[in-house]
Amino acid sequence: MSARSIRIEAGPRRGCVTSPRSKSHEHRLLIASFLAGDLTRLSPAEGDSDDILATKRCLVELSKEGDTPVLDCGESGSTRRFLSPVASALGKHPVFKTAGRLAERPQLDYSILDSGLFTLEGAVSSQFVTGLLFALPILQGDSFVRFSSRLESRGYVDMTIRVLAEAGVKVFEKSDGFEVPGSQRYKKLSRYSVEGDWSGAAFWFAMNSLGGDVKVLGLDEESAQPDKAVCRLLKKICQAHASSSVVIDVSECPDLFPVLAVVAAAQCGEVIFSGIRRLRYKESNRVSAMANVLKNLGVATREEEEAFAVCGKGELFRSCEISTFSDHRIAMAAAVASSYASGEIVLDDTMCAAKSYPAFFDEFFKLQKI
């Protein structure tokens, strides 16, 4: 789709789609390949999301001579958080350029990175952990990453460790963190195959929960992606009823929250989402953004510091105009809402979906209305 604003007819849809490439997995493969000296993957390719393009152009800049590269991260938090320690480990002192809300989101900067002990709160973004796990092996001394509380979104760190192992880099798990030997060398990946994206597929599975019949191809059931939990969580949400609340903890898979909230809004009963703290620091404040979306759809919500309740009545959503807050996951979740609407849904911005799933709206409108 080229238009920023679109109108979507109400009703469920059927068809078949192939999951997009997992940007979480691809970021990691790109960085591991780069650190092994393989620069062959850095040219833009068909299907690249905006975030993947950001990592590619930053790695190109890091490959050039000079100690102060300008790294344009766009709105990609992964790019910014992964490459800050990596650049320092390479002896670079980059200037980071950002767009959107990225400059407002939490960062840990490493202008100088030496081996040693790093203590992190487990509730901070797992992206900080991944950045260190990529950078520390190439330093001379051994390092230890310790957590002062439970590590959230652990699956993303598991994904990182898998990619590191494929690149011949050793990381040892301890009871309170990870031991990372220094003076390691990355080896060229023998296989460069990007997993299908469970977070992108989640929107199609959600449409199926609202009466659709969309088959999704290209997913790995053995993936470490935390968003693989989507089918289990959707099933739990659909068990909501008026007599009791259903509680969904999204601390391990925060990217699923917007579309899970839409499915919750279609139920007759209350669904309470916990573990929402980090959602306020995404491309939008996703808690307040979804409160606005659901209000326009005619669904009441209740927001607390640590929880967000969706109070569904089991009624069709009303026809309305929705602001996506220029947030890719809000835009795609709002499109899913059309599956259970009484009339047309109008979105003010679809271009933002390119951040993670450039083909989403093209795929959406290829589906047949039921």
- Residues with a known catalytic role: 255
Close Cβ partners of 141 (under 8 Å, ≥ 6 residues apart): 114, 115, 116, 182
Residues 48 and 31: their CA atoms lie apart, in Å, by 15
Bin 296: left if φ > 0, else alpha if -120 < ψ < 50, else beta: alpha
Q: In terms of Cα–Cα distance, which of 18, 54, 48 is closest to 357? A: 48
> 């990381």: which residue's tokens?
171
> 């059927």: which residue's tokens?
14
Which residue type, as a one-letter code, is found at position 277?
R
Residues 221 and 156: their CA atoms lie apart, in Å, by 15
Tokens coding 172: 């040892």
> 């979804």: which residue's tokens?
290
Element holding 163 (H helix, E strand):
helix 154-166
CA angle 197, 273, 361 (to 5 degrees): 35
Q: Rounded to whole angstroms, what are the CA distances from 142 to 183, 227, 253, 258? A: 8, 32, 31, 40
| Four-CA torsion 219, 221, 225, 226, nearest 10 degrees | 120
Within a 13 Å sphere around the CA of 4, how many CA atoms are in the beta-carbon half?
8
Burial label for 6, CB within 10 Å (0-12, 13-18, 19+), is middle
The radius of gyration computed from the CA coordinates of the chain, to the nearest angstrom, equals 21
**DSSP-based helix, strand, coil % in the chain, nearest 5:** 40, 20, 40
Tokens coding 68: 């102060």
